[in-house]
Amino acid sequence: MNEPQNAGDTPPPKQDPPLKESLQPLVDAVLSLSTKEEKPSRLHVFIKRYSAVCSLIVNTIVIAVFLMAVLVGIHAFNQLKTGSVLIKPFGVSPDIEKLGYLNRGSIKDILNDNTGALADGNKAIELDPNLVEAYVMRGTAKINLEDYNGAIADNDKAIELNPHYAGAYVNRACAKGNLKDYAGAMADANKAIELDPKCAEAYGTRGSLKAHLNDYFGAIADENRAIELDPHLTGAYTIRDAIIAALKNAPGAKVELDKAAELKFHSN
């Protein structure tokens, strides 16, 4: 017969740890993962460095190209300004070379380098004795150098080569006008307008001739037409306004001034 165990001999029941204590290791692990700095991979570091190098190279190339373009532009401008542009740098054909002299001569004419324009015109004609534009360009240089007979001869040759070239008639009219051959100059100006009704220079030249012939209202009308065709033709403004100023100051010119003003602002 077994003896009953004493209450003091029974082991106490096993108690589970508190919930907070049992979850603490897991919480600590999660917190350590969330605060741990992730190290970039070797591939990521390589891509980042490669991109930086490429960006630096591209920026360097862009800056170099820009600086080169600026230097080339400055060099070309200096050559153009001094008239030292090489016409035949790579052994080009005579057809291209003659146009080079023609174009450079035209630029020199704009820069008032009349002697240089004359020399380039001579070279262009030497390369092609039938180059009409070269005779006209050289004729312009001769007018500016007051060689009016030489200018007439050059434009005679241009008209012989191309009787339909209006610019040659305008140029010859200017030369004849400077020699006071107003009738011959007027005939050339009229012919230029007949060949090219939209040639502003022809109207401007004829207006100047009419002013010399005391046809002031006809002169104003022609200068108005020249301005209408080419608003940048400064000579036409100068001649027109000079005529109107003269009419304004002439004794008893009130009626004539009113007519001039009407022509100035309403001429077709």
Residue-level pLDDT at 195: 97
**Is there a single domain that holds both residue 208 and residue 191?**
no
Distance (Å, rounded) from C-alpha 153 to C-alpha 77?
34
User: Would you say residue 14 lies in a domain?
Assistant: no
Neighbouring C-beta atoms of residue 162, cutoff 10 Å? 15
Domain boundary among 145, 174, 197: 197
Q: How many domains does the chain have?
A: 3
Does the pLDDT of residue 4 top 60, yes or no? Answer: no
For 242, the domain range is 198-268
For residue 77 the two structure tokens come to 């401008």
One domain, residues 108 and 191: yes
100, 180: one domain: yes
Q: Write down the pTM of the prediction.
A: 0.63
Instruction: Indicate whether 176 belongs to any domain.
Output: yes
Neighbours of 3 (CB within 10 A): 5
pLDDT at residue 3 tops 70 = no
User: Among residues of the chain, what percentage have pLDDT more than 70?
Assistant: 60
Tell whether 175 and 214 lie within a shared domain: no
Residue ranges of alpha helices (H) inside 83-199 are 94-110, 114-127, 132-144, 148-161, 166-178, 182-195
Q: What is the pLDDT of residues 49-105, one digit of tens each?
A: 556 656 667 667 767 766 666 565 555 545 554 444 444 544 557 778 888 898 899
DSSP labels for 62-86? HHHHHHHHHHHHHHHHHHHHHT---
Q: Do 217 and 262 sit in the same domain of this protein? A: yes
**Per-residue pLDDT tens digits for 108-159:** 988 999 999 999 999 999 999 999 999 999 999 999 999 999 999 999 999 9
- Provide the CATH number for the domain around residue 241: 1.25.40
Predicted pLDDT of residue 35 = 41
